[in-house]
Chain A
Amino acid sequence: MPTNPPRVYWDADVLLSLINGYPERVPIIVAALTEAEKDNPPYELITSTLSIAEVAYAEEERTGRALSEEAEARIARLWHPRSSPIKLIEVYRLITEEAARLIRTLAVPNGWRLTPRDAIHLASAKLLEATEFQTYDEKLDKFAEGLGLDIVRPHVLQPVLVAPIDPEGVDESSGAEGSGNVPA
């Protein structure tokens, strides 16, 4: 049976950075996705199904309005196995039990705050034996040693060139913005 490539876990803020077209991050995220969609990818990108709700909610909080249907449909392409190399992991009992264990054994004794959502993401990565947990949230870095998991910022050997997304050219009132400036 073929061996699966190593797994890299993406926290929701990595996906939100792509959806936002955050200038310094997009070239790295796009390069990582492009690598992951190859026939023999060097790694698998995974995230929790929890990220689907988190990016939508965080985006609505950030902009103060509901996402338009068009923006929602574009974001949905990140979650479909035919249109994206990102693999989703469900939130199931073993994960919630592991999340509870992390809160009990790692966070509480050290006086660290670990919310249930953070714990579910970390437990998902651990249970799937991810080699890296990639996030832009430095507050999670301190859990790396206890988890036995590298918690790092997204990185690639060769970022790709992506035309900047111009927020000024966007009608903010519609909630459906940007052309996506899709790389070739």
Chain B
Amino acid sequence: MPNDTITFALEGTLTDKDLAESFRRFSELITALTREAGAGASISWTLSALEYGSAQATFKGEVVDHPEQIESVERVARAYVEVGNALQVDRPIPYSESVQRLARRIRQMLDGHIHTARFENVEGEAIVSPQSSTHLGEELISRAYGAAEGRVQTLSTRGTLRFILYDLMHDRAISCYLQEGREEIMRDAWGRLAIVEGLITRDATSGRPLTIRQVSRITRLPEPVGSWRDAMGASPWHLGRMLPEEAIRRLRDAD
């Protein structure tokens, strides 16, 4: 799967001015990184997905007039997350003074209202908080195989293997990345409620899923017939029988 998209996401309460300013700073950083890591290629970064309910935008890179030349785009996408990782743990940013300054300007946007910024590409992500995770003494991201439930959505049809799962619990977009050759598991999933399995990255504080990579399975939820009311009395209690809490307690105490 080509590493040709970058996602910038902010968490917190944003005003219109915050949004405009943060994306301006993001854009300046990408311009500088394209110049340095893109080896002189003229790369155009086009908006490929914008998630409502989150300040999250994804851009797909293409070398102007030579879309087949993916290497320069991939170098910039990797450099972008590398910069995020350096900010995350307060490591020196391995690029020019100009890139370092622009990257720090993004961190300066993070205050009480905007909690974190996420730098994401197809391969990985970094979460930047006002203080580095070294200072916080804790990991900001947790990774494990698992599943998340939500609605499969995306605004991107630009040939990427990325899609969005709209998380029902947290009401936020989760970036999901299919592996190349696994496109068939997406069949009939668009717009449907589904459980997506894969390697899940979560915000280590809230537990909210951020990304799902190596998506291994997408199980569509069946269309429901009826309502929760049908469950009432589905297996009635009889006088003299074990109380519900006794039945559950017996099960748990048998552990």
Binding site for B on A (CB under 8 A): 1, 4, 11-14, 16-23, 26, 30, 33, 37, 46, 54-55, 57-59, 61-63, 67, 71, 74-75, 77-78, 80-90, 92-95, 113, 115-118, 127-128, 135-137, 139, 162, 165-167, 170, 175-183
Contact of A93 with B244 in the complex, beta carbons under 8 Å: no
| Cβ-defined partner of B232 (8 Å) among A26, A82, A94, A116 | A26
Question: For residue B237, which residues in chain A have a CB less than 8 angstroms away from its CB?
Answer: 20-23, 167
Contact of A182 with B247 in the complex, beta carbons under 8 Å: no
- Rounded to whole angstroms, the CA-CA distance of A139 and B233 in the bound complex is 25
Best-surrounded residue of A33, A77, A135, A175 (most CB of chain B within 10 A): A77
Q: How far is the CB of A114 from chain B (nearest CB, A)?
A: 10
Q: How far is the CB of A11 from chain B (nearest CB, A)?
A: 7
| Cβ-defined partner of A21 (8 Å) among B147, B232, B243 | B232
| Chain B 44-84: CB-based contact to A (< 8 A → 1; otherwise 0) | 00000000011000000000000000000000000000000
- Rounded to whole angstroms, the CA-CA distance of A22 and B247 in the bound complex is 13
Contact of B148 with A180 in the complex, beta carbons under 8 Å: no
Contact of B234 with A180 in the complex, beta carbons under 8 Å: yes
Contact of A92 with B255 in the complex, beta carbons under 8 Å: no
Contact of B233 with A115 in the complex, beta carbons under 8 Å: no
Please report the number of residue pairs spanning A and B whose Cβ atoms sit closer than 8 angstroms.
182
- Rounded to whole angstroms, the CA-CA distance of A74 and B231 in the bound complex is 5
Beyond A16-B248, A57-B251, 14 additional pairs, beta carbon < 8 A: A12-B248, A19-B234, A22-B243, A26-B233, A54-B252, A77-B227, A78-B228, A85-B228, A92-B144, A93-B142, A136-B245, A178-B232, A178-B236, A180-B233
Binding site for A on B (CB under 8 A): 13-14, 53-54, 142, 144, 146-149, 168-169, 171, 193, 200, 202, 204, 206-207, 221-239, 241-245, 247-253, 255
Q: How far is the CB of A143 from chain B (nearest CB, A)?
A: 14
Contact of B149 with A88 in the complex, beta carbons under 8 Å: yes
Question: For residue B235, which residues in chain A have a CB less than 8 angstroms away from its CB?
Answer: 19-20, 59, 63, 67, 71, 75, 175, 177-178
Q: How far is the CB of A40 from chain B (nearest CB, A)?
A: 14
Contact of A94 with B171 in the complex, beta carbons under 8 Å: no
Name the residue on A nearest B232 (C-beta).
A180
- Rounded to whole angstroms, the CA-CA distance of A176 and B146 in the bound complex is 33
Contact of A86 with B228 in the complex, beta carbons under 8 Å: yes
